[in-house]
Structure 1
Amino acid sequence: MSDSLLVVAIDFGTAFSGYCFCVKSCMDNIRSVFWGMEQGHRSPKTPTCILFNEEKHFMKFGYDAVQTYNRMTSEEAKRFCFFENFKMELYNKTINKNIMICAKNGEPFPALKVFTESLRYLKDHALDTIRDSTDGREFIASDVTWVLTVPAIWDSAAKQFMRLAATEAGLVEEMGSENLVLALEPEAASVWCKQLPSTGFVQEGEDQEKLEQSPGTQYIVVDCGGGTVDITVHEVLEGGSLKELQKASGGGWGGSSVDKEFRSFLRDIFHPDVWDRYEKEHPGELQKMMYNFSFQKCVGKEEDIYISCHYNLSKLAQDKQDISCFFKKIDGASWSDGSIKITYNKLKTLFKSSVNHIVKAIKPILSTPEISIDYILLVGGYASSRLLRDEIRKQFSSRCRVLCPYDSQLAIAKGAILFGNDPKIIASRVSALTYGIVIGWPFDPSVHDPRKQRVNKAGDYVYCDDLFEKLVEKGQSVGCQQVAEYFYSPIDQDQNAMCFRFFSTEKLNAMYVDEPGLEEIGSFTVPMPNVRLGRNRRVRLDIKFGLTEIQATATDLTSNETQAIRIDFLTI
């Protein structure tokens, strides 16, 4: 671990982002900030929204970006690049460092720049806050261990993309810096909840309860974010560390999916011709409406909600017919003196698809014979919605306790602080996929496909090409400090480098890397400059699969030179 003075954890969310910080020597005093006071808010996180000007230079982030964009005329908004929910662009997609994403005005924009400038803003904001909190003492980025949270269900390329963006944003100087730690969001939340007292959880008609820390206690962490819902299963071990019992699961069922249902409902109300024109011509106003809904959907009472209908939507609707006529055949909504009234029962239906997916994902975990769940922990910003919490309790409270921390929005960032200070608190993880590399092996006609037979340049070695050597199996429990050791020899006598190509698959076993279902995910090359011993040379590969990122070192045993290898997942 680095000798930095501070730990800063950035919870970079789909809908909202924030950070916590503390001095390393005082880990029981984790500090956070409030956002949006200038705009009349006082929230622990700020919208993950960013605005670039006409020259594509950074302008604003968070509440400032939202307010500036919302104040623009429709013509102005078309000239500026505004982004929201862009973190979802890294989920379940093929990613490279040059990937482009679209702004609200439809203009393509480098995703790396959007993420980099967002993280740069949060880094600078954090350093300014720390300076103001320490009587003006100046700190620079290298004084900090930065912990950046990522969804557990992200693939290796998405994680590397975030590390690249953080490096370009100046959090660290080098990609491999130990001052940048990636923390899996539900794991961070788990670490935080594990040490909370009973007063740290929302009490909704239940006896006060805290999460048991005794060895053998098992619980599900459901991280309900704006974009994704991440689910992990942990068991408390002797000494208080955590063991992952199943590979992380989840999907794109977060709070923004409820927003999409609401948007679709508005389109039904006003008819596609009016609504589609409004979306295109008045994006700032629409963003205001959606922002209003995103807060009201987390109502704590069973009551109807009212969404202001802005001027341009009213005008476009009135040009067609009296606005109240749009609501005549609509169930669950009505016109109410300049506002759209949504009944509580209708609001519940907007949550239905998202909640059903979450329930469906939890059920098989509870039904796994070798697992005995004591608790379900609901964390993340979306968990602040009582509608979500009530449904999860209704479905599962007869089988286990359902807990939600009071500061569900900050549970991830606070837990990430603890994790960043001591990553060994997660003792083991379960491999989400089967990983392996492509190798050549002496050809055996009784085993190998004759089409894979190859001969090296000197003609003294006949081998089978494209063989898949499994390094770790899907579902295998891997200790976070466990090192797997492998040895490889060159194919050609004058070979001065060895290329390792990594593959992943859902399968438990595979013979060849070109079989259906195998995907090349990354590679690295090890120099072998001393060719004096010909093929009688070896490279030792040491890999850790139990960390949040796969780590490897390679040693050319001829020269005995060891180098840390960072597998490149962004070039495929």
Structure 2
Amino acid sequence: MPGSRDLPDPRAPCHNDRAGQGPAADNPAVAKLRSQRLEHIPKVTSGMEMEASNGKTLPALMVFAESLRYMKEHALNTVQEASFHTVCDPQEITWVITVPAIWSAAARQFMRLAAKEAGLISDMMSEKLIIALEPEAASLWCKQLPQQGFIVEASDKKKFEDSPGIQYIVVDCGGGTIDITVHEIQENHYLKELHKASGGGWGGNRVDENFSAFLREIFDDGVWDEYVKRHPTELQNMMYNFSLQKCSASREAVYIRCYYNLTRVAESRKEISQFFTNVTGAVWCDGMIMITYEKLKSFFEYSIKNIVGTLREILSKPEMAKVQYILLVGGFSTSIILRDAIHQAFSKKYNVLCPIEAQAAVAKGAILFGVNPKIIASRISVRTYGVEIYTTFDVAIHDFCKRYVSKADGFVYCKDIFKKLVGIEESVNINEVAEYTFHPVEQDQTCVRFAFYSTEKHCAQYVDEEGMELLGSCAVTMPDTRLRKKRKLRLDIKFGLTEFKATATDITSKQSRTIVIDFLAV
């Protein structure tokens, strides 16, 4: 795998074989750390910043950490008050943080780092923090609800069945993202994922953005931009008011209060009612902005188009033929506009259900997941994952420019080879451990560096191909060099977890260590 040693050449290789696939000597290999990445894909890093609507910025880690710190203290105070002021031992508490299933490994690690900064855990490897995927958590909650736990719709045909063999789609409609997963209930009532997590940034925030853009059209001449910049707190209240209105269960016009400072800024230009003279879909009503139901629906068009389109794409696949239910969860799913669109598109063939407590489904399901994380039996890999290696150079298939000659014995390798560990859309059991064995190529090699990559391709030959992304790297020491090239380093990887878990064991010294991949550093 990756090679790094206490010599001038930082790329000292090692060779490997997958357990049970033949002798290691037949497959020499090495991998090294590479800083290359795709520039057009946004990367989550520990130093990234967030920009407020008024243009001011703060470190994202500070924003997330302080938010988690507030929720931690609120939770502990609530528990203490409910238990007659009994003091809770922090060491006895397991925290569960939910994240969208479509989030990258770096984003999930960022949440763990924020939890550490907030004091939820003492170190990054703590088992007192569990990362739960939001649609999975919601699925756990919904499948144990009685029929009375779902909103009654005219097109609903029957209650959700928590029976072996039942297949269903979970559409987690949040503020930022729409998360879509497909599950099948197993004999032991555990869940098996049938399709890789899908979705995108089509959540309720996109509706808010469209509403804000509409207000900018109304309050032209720089009025809206001045208001956004100078009165962010009042703006936040206004947008919160709209967020409640957009999720109304009624199919009627909505009324949004026009706050004092917006009125004042607008009337510094002209009579406020004049801003609405040529506006279609909104009327000024004595301090309120009345938005027609049809105009309100137009704010949802982008989100609905993407959600319905993605669902149709997934459901059109032959392996989805047995799906019976579509479960809508998350705060955005409480919107009658969104639910009407999903019902209209799918209710003739599928049972579309939404729990009464749609917004709380993720949080309540996270508790169930925290109690038994193994209840998710398998997941579908969202990308192809692999490691960079050096392998025996073959003039018939390898590029000559990737030729590398070992300093130890002159052996000729091909560098930058991508060794696939798990493929995209491949089902991976949660408790399944993949085992790989590596051997040093340099006789005095004392450190091996593992560099992990991913791609959306099913197969790839080199790690520098287009679409390849460096996920992270880690170094593992091999201090005892007496056996020279006969030494072995075993790597055990669990791919099905919500976070990357790997253990490296130096067979010679019998020393093991958990590998920590720093996804935030690349």
Q: Same fold (TM over 0.5)?
A: yes
SS for the counterpart of 2:416 is strand
Higher RCO (C-alpha under 8 Å, 6+ residues apart): 2
Distance 2:311 2:53 in 1: 35
Structure 2 partner of 1:557: 507
Gaps of at least 5 residues in structure 2 are 1-40
Q: Is the 8 A contact 2:385 2:421 kept in 1?
A: yes
Q: Report whether the alignment pairs 1:259 with 2:202.
A: no
Are 1:484 and 2:420 counterparts?
Answer: no
Q: TM-score, normalised on structure 1?
A: 0.82
Matches within 5 A, 1:152-191: 152-191=101-140
Q: What is the deviation of 1:261?
A: 0.6
Partner of 2:27: none
What's the offset of the Cα at 1:209?
A: 3.6
Normalized against structure 2, the TM-score is what?
0.90
> How far has the Cα of 1:211 moved from its partner?
1.5
Counterparts of residues 157-306 of structure 1 (less than 5 Å)? 157-206=106-155, 209-306=158-255
Say if 2:452 is the partner of 1:502.
yes
Which of 262, 277, 294 in structure 2 is aligned with 1:328?
A: 277
- Deviation of 1:208 after TM superposition, in Å, equals 7.4
Amino acid at match of 2:224: W
8 Å Cα contact 1:192/1:411 also seen in 2: yes
Structure 1 residue 492, shift from structure 2 partner: 1.2
3-state SS of paired residue (2:418): strand
Aligned to 1:316: 265
| Residue type of the alignment partner of 1:98 | G
Secondary structure, aligned partner of 2:223: helix
3-state SS of paired residue (1:489) = strand
Answering whether residue 516 of structure 2 is matched by residue 536 of structure 1, we say no
Letter in 2 for 1:439: I
Measured in 2, the distance between the counterparts of 1:523 and 1:413 equals: 33
Aligned residues of 1:199 and 1:208 also touching (Cα < 8 A)? no
Aligned to 2:387: 437
SS of equivalent residue, structure 1 residue 546: coil
Partner of 2:44: 95
1:505-561, Cα deviation, whole Å (9 max, x unpaired): 011111111111111111111110111122221111110111111211111111111
1:148 partnered with 2:97 = yes
Work out the CA distance in 2 between the residues paired with 1:297 and 1:396. 22
- Secondary structure (helix, strand or coil) at the match of 1:321 reads coil
Q: Provide the rounded CA distance (Å) in 1 between the counterparts of 2:318 and 2:153.
A: 30
- CA shift, 1:563, in A, is 1.2
Q: Is the 8 A contact 1:493 1:531 kept in 2?
A: yes
Of 319-328 and 421-430, deviating more is 319-328
Closer, same or farther: CA 368–256 of 1 in aligned 2, 3 Å = same
* Partner AA of 1:148 in structure 2: I
Q: Post-superposition shift, 1:352? A: 1.4
What residue is the counterpart of 1:394 in the other structure? 344
Displacement of 1:296 after TM fit? 0.9
Aligned residue for 2:219, secondary structure, equals helix
| Residues 201, 209 of structure 1: 8 Å contact kept | no
Are the structure 2 counterparts of residues 354 and 272 from structure 1 closer, same or farther at C-alpha, using a change threshold of 3 Å?
farther
In the alignment, is residue 454 of structure 1 matched against residue 404 of structure 2?
A: yes
Query: 3-state DSSP class of the match of 1:240?
Result: coil
Residue identity in the other structure for 1:410: A
Counterpart pick for 1:465 among 403, 415, 418: 415
Name which of structure 1's ranges 204-213 and 322-331 shifts more when overlaid on structure 2.
204-213
User: Does 500-509 or 95-104 show the bigger shift?
Assistant: 95-104
Displacement, 1:272? 4.6
Partner secondary structure for residue 80 of structure 2: helix
Kept in 2, the 8 Å contact 1:142–1:171? The answer is no
Secondary structure, in 3 states, of the residue corresponding to 2:496? coil
491, 515, 534: which is aligned to 2:465? 515
Q: Please say if 1:567 is aligned against 2:517.
A: yes
Query: Per the alignment, in what secondary structure is the counterpart of residue 548 of structure 1?
Result: coil
3-state SS, counterpart of residue 330 of structure 1: coil
Matched-pair contact (CA < 8 Å) for 2:170–2:326 = yes
Paired residue secondary structure (1:346): helix
Count how many residue pairs are aligned between Structure 1 and Structure 2. Answer: 481
Q: Distance in 2 between matches of 1:304 and 1:490?
A: 70
Which whole-Å CA distance do the structure 1 matches of 2:450 and 2:142 have between them?
Answer: 40
Q: Is the 8 A contact 2:54 2:230 kept in 1?
A: no
Q: Secondary structure at the match of 1:424?
A: helix
Deviation at 1:354, TM superposition (A): 1.1
**Among candidates 41, 66, 71, match of residue 117 of structure 1:** 66
Supply the distance in 1 between the matched residues of 2:122 and 2:229 (Cα, whole angstroms).
41
- Secondary structure of the residue aligned to 1:394 is helix
Q: Is the 8 A contact 1:127 1:140 kept in 2?
A: no
Distance (Å, rounded) in 2 between the aligned partners of 1:354 and 1:98? 30
For the residues of structure 1 that align with 2:427 and 2:156, how far apart are their CA atoms? 35
1:207: Cα distance to partner?
A: 5.7
Kindly report which structure 2 residues correspond to 1:8-47, keeping only aligned pairs within 5 A, or say none: none
Aligned counterpart for 1:338 among listed residues 246, 269, 287:
287
8 Å contact from structure 2 (residues 101, 135) kept in 1: yes
- Ranges in structure 1 where 5+ consecutive residues have no aligned partner: 1-91
**Cα offset for 1:440?**
1.0
Instruction: State the alpha-carbon separation in 1 of the partners of residues 482 and 500 from structure 2.
Output: 32
1:299 is displaced (CA, Å) by: 1.4
Contact 2:454 2:470 in 1 (8 A): yes
Shift of 1:115: 0.9
State whether residues 258 and 289 of structure 2, in contact with CA within 8 Å, keep that contact through their aligned partners in structure 1: yes
1:294 aligned counterpart, secondary structure: helix
TM-fit CA distance, 1:455? 1.6
Shift of the 313–107 alpha-carbon distance from structure 1 to 2, 3 Å rule, reads closer
Asked whether 1:416 is paired with 2:366, we answer yes
Tell me the secondary structure at the aligned position of residue 222 of structure 2: helix
Residue deviations 1:76-101, cap 9 Å, x none?
xxxxxxxxxxxxxxxx7301111122
Task: Check whether the contact 2:405–2:412 (CA below 8 A) recurs between aligned residues.
Answer: yes
Return the alpha-carbon distance in structure 1 between the equivalents of residues 517 and 159 of structure 2: 41
CA contact (8 A) 1:127 1:141 kept: no
Provide the secondary structure at the position in 2 that maps to 1:124.
helix
Distance 2:85 2:461 in 1: 61
Aligned-residue sequence identity (percent) comes to 56
Whole-angstrom CA distance in 1 between matches of 2:506 and 2:411: 21
Paired residue secondary structure (2:318)? coil
